[in-house]
Amino acid sequence: MSMNRREFMQMLAMASAAGLALKPGMGFAQTAADAFYNLPKFGNVHFLHFTDCHAQLKPIYFREPNVNLGFHSMYGKPPHLVGEYLLKHYGVKPDTRDAHAFTYLDFAPAAQTYGKVGGFAHMSTLVKQLKASRPGALLLDGGDTWQGSGTALWTDGQDMVDACLALGVDIMTAHWEMTLGEDRVMEIVEKDFAGKVSFVAQNIKTADFGDPVFDAFTMREMNGVKLAVIGQAFPYTPIANPRYFVENWTFGIEEENMQKTVDEARAQGAQVVVVLSHNGMDVDLKMASRVRGIDAIMGGHTHDGVPSPVQVKNPGGVTLVTNAGSNGKFLGVLDFDVKDGKVSDFRYKLLPIFSDLIPADTEMVSLIERVRAPHEAKLNEVLAQTEGTLYRRGNFNGTFDQVIVDALIQMKDAEIAFSPGFRWGTSLLPGQDILMEHVLDQTAITYPYTTLTPMSGEMIKVVLEDVADNLFNPDPYYQQGGDMVRVGGLEYTINPAADSGNRISDMRLNGQLIDAGKNYKVAGWAPVSEAARDQGGEPIWDVVAAYLRNTKTVKAVAPNMPKIIGAEGNPGFAPLS
């Protein structure tokens, strides 16, 4: 199924008009749909890119962070810009669709005005149009695709595999896919993807002999131009997630091997070399400064919606570094003009996918309905209602995280609760029902076990220090996880710019200083050890669902935030009043 540009723009215009008629007088500028998605073709080599969709097949709300701190060499630089700092840096006008897409500002009223974002049926329409206008364009999937929803969990990722095949994904790399286990990953790659999707990762090797597990790169030809796409899976998968899922494989940044792979692709005649990466943007920026011969790194993992590429100088020239957000909210479009065997110019646009503006692809709608049909009753169970906005994304805590830690404390009879700093998870607006689906959007993993552990004050500090170093280490190559662990019950102070082991101080419970030698009852979930797996605590979604059924109404409360030293004036910090 394809449509010409005129038909597509007419459909968008009608959708935009309908949206305007439904939501008058909100005081926000509306960008006409035909102008918003009118992206003229440029050059002769074209890449479309999405990443970190976390199995969100349907349109959702998603709030961007108000805390995304950068320190040391990363201070005040993309992607560590939030709110008005981001708007100013990129020249985005306030109170527009783009301002809503890229920032948290006025989130709830703006979301009411502009509607939901993402959805594979709407992305499919956009992908088909862009491919029709850009002959040979490749659709790249940056990973974190087969995990993040109830249906993905219950189908072992098959719902997303089928959706990605229907979407027309050409090349993919991975991270959370690995939590389905080695056997399941290989089954999909060798059967579902065979002859259809190139699954690439130069940095995954066998643990015994160091042999490549997947192809390092794929060579293609587009409009007479030879090109290579190299895969870079998340380097720290066995650290951030349970090692037992990938016990026969090793991961790592593998910078030296990346350079060898780039050189090999160039030797095979590649005039364009793109890395499809799940490093995280800070890691990509460092890699771009050190590895020669890469034209662009199209990145993911850190969920940063970055409107334009960072141009990084290195001994071989300049490498573009992009990051395409999360939850199916954006589609990156990179056009290269290749002349005389090399890139001479480029254009890039990160397109927000507003589902109200883009007609749904009917074939994809049917696929999604088939996938969801056996599970609709469970997904649509109403657990409670929220009076405030619920969200997750941010360095330290979010309001949905607060619900999770509150549930752990109450339902596990704990004094303190830890919840992982996962970046994935959708948002809810004030007054919305909290459905079982929404809880699963925050919790659907293959190691969901809850725990209740006696933990000394000394060990609590060790845990917080370790996670803080993963997030704020001045060397991006040592940033090994997600955001800061979410904490319930405990108050603390953090100095992100301090040395490792000295960032956390003034830990208190009920106003009293934590005693290093005393044990406290600490609840948590998503343990990475085999012992915790074998013990098998109650799944986190059951704990949260039971708490919400009892609570019935979730009040609008501020999340439990640490005191942050050195954050005032940081362009990655916008405290909420």
Q: What is the pLDDT of residues 463-498, one digit of tens each?
A: 999 999 999 999 999 998 789 999 999 999 999 999
pLDDT beyond 80 at 3: no
Distance, CA of 300 to chain centre: 7
Model confidence over 152-185: pLDDT tens digits?
A: 999 999 999 999 999 999 999 999 999 999 999 9
Write down the pLDDT at residue 481: 74
Beta bridge partner(s), residue 525: 450
In sequence order, the 6+-apart residues with CB closer than 8 A to the CB of 569 are none
Model confidence over 15-46: pLDDT tens digits?
A: 444 333 333 333 333 345 778 899 999 999 99
Distance, CA of 574 to CA of 265 (rounded, Å) = 43
pLDDT confidence of 577, banded at 50, 70, 90? low
Domain with CATH 3.90.780.10 in the chain: 380-564
- Which CATH code, of 3.90.550.10, 3.40.50.360, 3.90.780.10, 2.30.30.90, is assigned to 380-564? 3.90.780.10
Q: What is the 3-state secondary structure (H, E, C) of 67-107?
A: ECCCCHHHCCCCCCCCHHHHHHHHCCCCCCHHHHHHCCCCH
Q: In 3-state terms, what secondary structure has residue 563?
A: strand
Top-level CATH class of 39-60+118-354? alpha beta
pLDDT beyond 80 at 7: no
Beta bridge partner(s), residue 563: 493
State the amino acid at position 268 in one-letter form: Q
Write down the pLDDT at residue 20: 34
pLDDT confidence of 557, banded at 50, 70, 90? confident
Distance, CA of 18 to CA of 92 (rounded, Å) = 25
**452: exposed, middle or buried (Cβ count in 10 Å: 0-12, 13-18, 19+):** middle
Domain with CATH 3.60.21.10 in the chain: 39-60+118-354
DSSP E strands in 361-435: the ranges are 382-386, 416-419, 433-435
In sequence order, the 6+-apart residues with CB closer than 8 A to the CB of 85 are 76, 571, 572, 574
Number of other residues whose CB lies within 10 A of the CB of residue 530 = 12
Section 188-216 average pLDDT: 98
The two tokens of residue 559 are 């999340």
pLDDT beyond 90 at 364: yes
Write down the pLDDT at residue 6: 52
Distance, CA of 414 to CA of 561 (rounded, Å) = 19
Distance, CA of 473 to chain centre: 20
Write down the pLDDT at residue 19: 37
Write down the pLDDT at residue 441: 98
In sequence order, the 6+-apart residues with CB closer than 8 A to the CB of 231 are 171, 172, 173, 199, 200, 201, 202, 214, 215, 216, 217, 275, 276
Model confidence over 125-134: pLDDT tens digits?
A: 999 999 999 9
pLDDT, the chain, mean: 94
Section 556-569 average pLDDT: 93
Number of other residues whose CB lies within 10 A of the CB of residue 85 = 18
Model confidence over 412-453: pLDDT tens digits?
A: 999 999 999 999 999 999 999 999 999 999 999 999 999 999
Q: In 3-state terms, what secondary structure has residue 108?
A: helix
Section 111-134 average pLDDT: 97
The CA–CA distances, whole Å, from 242 to 303, 334, 523, 532 equal: 21, 35, 19, 11
Q: How many CA atoms lie within 13 A of 158 on its CB side?
A: 9
- Strand pairing report for 225-232 and 217-222: antiparallel
Distance, CA of 456 to CA of 461 (rounded, Å) = 9
| CA nearest neighbour of 26 among 106, 116, 118, 117 | 106
Helices (H) and strands (E) in the chain, counts: 19, 25
Write down the pLDDT at residue 269: 98
Query: What secondary structure letter does DSSP report for 360?
Result: P
Distance, CA of 139 to CA of 387 (rounded, Å) = 39
- Based on its alpha-carbon atoms, the radius of gyration of the chain, rounded to whole angstroms, reads 23
Model confidence over 327-360: pLDDT tens digits?
A: 999 999 999 999 999 999 999 999 999 999 999 9
Write down the pLDDT at residue 457: 98
The two tokens of residue 526 are 């998503």
- Strand pairing report for 217-222 and 198-199: unpaired
Section 194-202 average pLDDT: 98
